[in-house]
């Protein structure tokens, strides 16, 4: 299934518009799921269901949105920031995301900012290439 990045973006955009009730033009590559698009726990599940259907792939929720389990684990979080182990765990789980800014100030409240529409597109691209 050789989809171009643009085709993947169109499908992802449609999924996010349907799941989050936002307008097409709000779904830009840089838009953050939680901050800009207002996504929450229940929405993450909806997004996963729809992406699986749209692309015919299996998506363990942990792979796409690991933030929640990381935030609840005391080994990974200390004083409101991710520890070295936490950062390593995050890097491992989400290779499709760019951490450079986050690493400078790994405040867990900013974890949400990492999850952009672009990150989802990267993830889908990787999954489709591996399929």
**Least distance in angstroms from the C-beta of 23 to another protein:** 10
Question: How many C-beta atoms lie closer than 10 Å to residue 76's C-beta?
Answer: 21
Q: Which of 42, 100, 105, 109 is close enough to bind another protein by CB under 8 A?
A: 42
**Window of 46-54, 73-81, 86-94, 123-131 that interacts with another protein by CB under 8 A:** 46-54
Q: Which of 5, 35, 45, 85 is close enough to bind another protein by CB under 8 A?
A: 45
- Answer yes or no whether residue 52 interacts with another protein by CB under 8 A: yes
Q: Which of 21, 35, 56, 80 is close enough to bind another protein by CB under 8 A?
A: 21
Give the bridge partners for 32, in sequence order: 116
Helices then strands, each counted (H, E), the chain: 8, 2
Q: Using CA atoms, how far apart are residues 72 and 91, in angstroms rounded to an integer?
A: 17
User: DSSP string spanning 80-116?
Assistant: TEE-HHHHHHHHHH-TTS--HHHHHS-BGGGHHHH-B
Check: CB of residue 108 under 8 Å from CB of residue 58.
no
**Least distance in angstroms from the C-beta of 42 to another protein:** 5
**Least distance in angstroms from the C-beta of 49 to another protein:** 4
* Residues contributing to the site for another protein (CB under 8 A): 18-21, 40-43, 45-46, 49, 52-53, 61, 72
């Amino acid at each position: 299934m050789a989809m171009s990045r643009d085709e993947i973006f169109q499908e992802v955009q449609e999924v996010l518009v349907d799941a989050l009730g936002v307008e097409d033009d709000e779904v830009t590559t840089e838009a953050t799921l939680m901050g800009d698009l207002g996504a929450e726990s229940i929405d993450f599940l909806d997004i996963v269901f729809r992406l699986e259907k749209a692309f015919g792939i299996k998506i363990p929720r942990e792979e796409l949105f690991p933030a929640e389990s990381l935030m609840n684990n005391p080994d990974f979080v200390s004083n409101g920031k991710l520890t070295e182990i936490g950062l390593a765990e995050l890097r491992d789980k989400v290779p499709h995301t760019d951490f450079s800014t986050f690493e400078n100030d790994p405040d867990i409240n900013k974890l949400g900012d990492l999850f952009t529409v672009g990150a989802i597109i990267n993830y889908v691209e990787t999954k489709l290439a591996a399929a």
